[in-house]
């Protein structure tokens, strides 16, 4: 019995992610539920506890330990071993690059629709925001050339 209780206390201490805390919480609730069933069906022939009742007590201790530690783990900050799938927000350079690419796509769509006024407006803004990007990405774009070259249209 002591070993089972010790195991129930040690295992959730290693829970470092929200997922493992949820597993500990769910397992603890399952232990508590089974302890109720075991306790309700226990039959005693004498003054001592029936084996089923002793098992129910073990399930209560283990279930309580797992439930409490799982719940505490979910309530507190999960720490450095939290879900590694969570990505940090993009930095300003990435956001700037995405904005430039979105504007270039807008200019290309306008050029495909024959809307040279929008192409000139968007590419002028691109040149203002990032002259280097304008020189490397916008000027060489063949779809924009008809709208960006001076002359009759």
pLDDT digits (tens, 9 = 90+) for 16-74: 567 777 777 788 788 778 777 777 776 766 666 677 777 777 777 777 777 777 777 76
**Cα(51)–Cα(42) distance, rounded to whole angstroms?**
8
Tens-place pLDDT, residues 36-46: 777 777 676 66
Determine if the pTM surpasses 0.75. Answer: no
In three-state secondary structure terms, 143 is coil
**Contacts of the segment 52-58: beta carbons below 8 A, 24+ positions apart:** 54/1, 57/1, 58/1, 58/4, 58/5
Average pLDDT over residues 97-119: 93
Average pLDDT over residues 126-139: 93
């Amino acid at each position: 019995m002591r070993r089972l209780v010790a195991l129930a206390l040690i295992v959730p201490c290693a829970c470092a992610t929200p997922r493992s805390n949820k597993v500990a919480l769910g397992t603890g609730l399952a232990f508590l539920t089974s302890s109720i069933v075991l306790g309700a069906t226990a039959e005693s022939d004498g003054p001592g506890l029936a084996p089923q009742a002793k098992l129910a007590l073990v399930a209560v201790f283990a279930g309580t330990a797992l439930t409490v530690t799982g719940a505490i783990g979910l309530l507190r900050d999960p720490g450095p071993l939290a879900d590694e799938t969570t990505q940090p927000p993009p930095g300003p350079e990435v956001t700037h690059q995405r904005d430039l690419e979105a504007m270039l796509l807008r200019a290309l769509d306008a050029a495909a629709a024959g809307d040279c006024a929008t192409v000139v407006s968007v590419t002028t803004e691109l040149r203002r925001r990032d002259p280097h990007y304008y020189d490397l990405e916008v000027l060489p774009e063949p779809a924009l050339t008809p709208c960006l070259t001076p002359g009759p249209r």
